[in-house]
Every structure is written in C-alpha cells, then in structure tokens.
C-alpha cells in the first residue's frame, strides 16, 4: 500500500476535493507543490515518446531523403512538433467541447477565479508543462547546433510562461482556447515544412498555413478583448484574495489598467503579424526571383538551340571541306592534261 500511494503521487494529479453539484458531488482538483512530482514523471514519459517517434518514424524518413545537416535538424524539429501539436489539438478540442467552453463563452470568465479544475483539464496542463520542460534536455540529446539554441530556448520559454501563467493564475479556461488556436496554426506550419523538405517545389501547404495563421490571430485578439475588456470587469468577486486564487481581477475595474493591458496585447499581436507579413514577402520575393531565373535560363537554352541549327547552304553540298555541285561534279573548271 505504501508503494501504491507513492506511485499514485507520480502518476495521478493530486489535491482532489469534492465540489457540490446539482446531481451530487463532483471531484475537482487544485494545484500545489506535489504537482512538481507528477510533472517530473511525465517529463520522463515525454522523453521516451520523443525517442520512439525519432527512432521509428523520423530517422527512417531521413535515411530515404538524404537531407543535409541543416535540413536534417529542421526536419526532426518539425516532425516532433507535428506529432505533439496534432495530439494537443485533438485533446484540447475534446476538453473544451466536453466542458462546454465553446458552447458557452461566458464560462471563460464567469465564476472567476477557476480554482477547482476537472480532472481532464488539470491533467492536460500537467502534460503540457511536462512536454515543454522535457524540450530543454532534448536540446542536448538531439545535438542541436549552437546557433539554433537561443531561438529554441525562446520558443520553449514563451510556451512555458503561457501554460504556467494560465495554470497558476487560474485562467485555465482562457488558456485552453488560446492554446487550441496557437497549436492549430503551428501544426499547419510544421506540416508545411515537412512537405517542403520532401519536395521543394510543393509550397501549397504554406498558403494554407498563412490563411489559418491570420484567422487564428483574429480570433485570439477578439478573445482577449472579450475576456479582458468585457468579461473580467464584470466578475462579482473583485477583491484581492490570493488565498482563494483571485490575484488581479480587481485591477480590471480600473479603466486605465484595462486599456493598458489591451494596448499591450494589441501591440504584441501587431508585432507577430508584422513578422508574419515580412516572412510572406520574403518568401514571395524568393519565389519570383526563382521563377525569373528559370525563365532566363529557359530563354538562354532556347537561344543556344537556335544558334546550334545549321545555316542555309548554297546550292551544292560540302564534302571534306570542298563545295560540290548538285550533280556531284566540282564547280571548278577542269584543267586539260598536257599532251
């Protein structure tokens, strides 16, 4: 029994409480320090799954494609993220639909703070934290190049801040919707990269990603305005109460603070869109330069073929450098032999 209790500490979420409901009592969860033990266990699970995907899928594909070292590293990165984002999108979509967060948008801010979480919501967040923490030692295991490490560290840190912030500040419902939108766009981007590495002439999926990216940015900005600008200021409990998990809803009663937060959100989304537009312009410029280079090469090849065609000959034909008449006789007058 002692071993079973210790195993449950690693495997199952902790801090369960019984919450009264209309049809009885429901078991919900809140967070605490014991979550670190559970996250540690699932970090090892994530490392094992990472190795399985790498060994039985990505390495086999890489051996067939014969990619360069740079493309090999990017292919492995996108392959791992495609598997993770696809799993997370399906899982997150299932959670937000079954919990009613999509059918009832008011639930994103009603009854804030959302201290008590359903099992699947808490388990989802624990697994998300475990995955992004496991990505840190994977930088060493995958032998990522030094010049790529700062970019990947920034990428991992942004996700950790978002997931941990939503979990610790009791904004898990809003965090779920934002993660769903972000993971959906990221899935199409890394899928487009995989297709591009297998066939450099196939960039159609990048166009699909561009549309999905713009749509998800618009939904994200709308969601921020809806929740921060209109939802949280109407919460009944506006007093600062850290023990109950109410950290900052009272601040949203201040119009200046609320407008400042929305301005920061809009500026951040604008910077993301600017990088996206810059990337698209650079990609289109490279595409048109490549097309014009191909046209110039094709024109040069056709000109060379025309020059290689034989010129129109005069009457007669050449034989060993000597012009012959059409009847085979030489056009020169024959010399008479001396008697």
Residue 4 placed within a domain: yes
Region at 245 (left for phi over 0; alpha for psi -120 to 50; beta for the rest)? left
Residue 201 placed within a domain: yes
Residue 323 placed within a domain: no
* Cα R_g (the chain), whole angstroms: 33
Residue 199 placed within a domain: yes
What is the span of the domain harbouring residue 112? 1-222
Cα–Cα distances (Å) from 104 to 94, 97, 107, 171, in that order, read 15, 10, 6, 16
Residue 269 placed within a domain: no
pLDDT tens digit sequence for 200-259:
777 788 889 999 999 999 999 999 888 887 887 777 665 666 666 666 665 666 677 778
Residue 98 placed within a domain: yes
Q: For residues 162 and 178, is the Cβ–Cβ distance under 8 A? A: yes
pTM greater than 0.95: no
pLDDT tens digit sequence for 37-66:
999 999 999 999 999 999 999 988 888 888
Q: What average pLDDT does the structure give for the chain?
A: 83
Q: For residues 40 and 14, is the Cβ–Cβ distance under 8 A? A: no
pLDDT tens digit sequence for 88-147:
999 999 999 999 898 888 888 887 778 889 999 999 999 999 999 999 999 888 888 888
The alpha-helical segments, DSSP class H, found in the chain are 2-11, 35-53, 59-65, 69-98, 119-141, 149-168, 172-198, 204-224, 255-308
Residue 117 DSSP SS3: strand
Q: For residues 229 and 258, is the Cβ–Cβ distance under 8 A? A: yes
pLDDT at residue 25, rounded to an integer: 78
Residue 276 DSSP SS3: helix
Closest by Cα among 230, 220, 312, 297 to 266 = 220
Domain total for the chain?
1
Residue 45 placed within a domain: yes
Residue 40 placed within a domain: yes
Contacts of 163 (CB under 8 A, 6+ apart): 125, 128, 129, 132, 175, 179
Has residue 338 got a pLDDT over 50? no
Instruction: Find where tokens 């449950």 sit.
Output: 8
pLDDT at residue 292, rounded to an integer: 83
Beta strand pairing call for 322-324 and 317-319: antiparallel
Tokens matching residue 89: 């999108």
Q: What are phi and psi of 302, to 5 degrees?
A: -65, -35
């Amino acid at each position: 029994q002692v071993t079973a209790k210790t195993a449950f500490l690693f495997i199952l979420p902790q801090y369960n409480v019984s919450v009264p409901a209309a049809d009885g009592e429901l078991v919900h969860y809140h967070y605490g320090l014991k979550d670190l033990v559970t996250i540690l266990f699932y970090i090892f699970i994530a490392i094992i799954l990472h190795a399985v995907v790498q060994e039985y899928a990505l390495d086999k594909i890489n051996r067939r494609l014969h990619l360069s070292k740079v493309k090999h590293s990017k292919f492995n990165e996108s392959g791992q993220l495609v598997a993770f984002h696809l799993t997370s999108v399906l899982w997150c979509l299932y959670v937000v639909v079954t919990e009613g967060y999509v059918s009832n948008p008011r639930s994103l801010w009603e009854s804030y703070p959302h201290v008590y979480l359903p099992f699947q919501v808490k388990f989802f967040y624990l697994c998300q934290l475990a995955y992004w923490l496991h990505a840190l030692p994977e930088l060493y295991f995958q032998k990522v190049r030094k010049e790529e490490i700062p970019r990947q560290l920034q990428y991992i840190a942004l996700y950790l801040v978002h997931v941990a912030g939503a979990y610790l500040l009791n904004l898990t419902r809003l965090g779920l919707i934002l993660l769903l939108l972000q993971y959906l766009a990221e899935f199409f981007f890394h899928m487009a990269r995989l297709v591009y590495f297998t066939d450099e002439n196939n960039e159609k999926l990048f166009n699909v990603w561009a549309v999905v990216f713009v749509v998800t940015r618009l939904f994200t900005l709308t969601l921020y305005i809806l929740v921060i600008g209109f939802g949280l200021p109407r919460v009944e409990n506006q007093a600062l109460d850290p023990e109950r998990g109410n950290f900052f809803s009272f601040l949203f009663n201040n119009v200046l603070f609320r407008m400042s937060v929305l301005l920061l959100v809009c500026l951040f989304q604008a910077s993301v869109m600017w990088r996206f537009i810059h990337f698209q312009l650079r990609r289109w410029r490279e595409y048109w330069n490549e097309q014009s280079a191909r046209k110039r090469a094709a024109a040069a090849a056709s000109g060379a073929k025309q020059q290689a065609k034989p010129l129109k000959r005069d009457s007669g034909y050449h034989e060993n450098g000597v012009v012959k008449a059409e009847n085979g006789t030489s056009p020169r007058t024959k010399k008479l032999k001396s008697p």
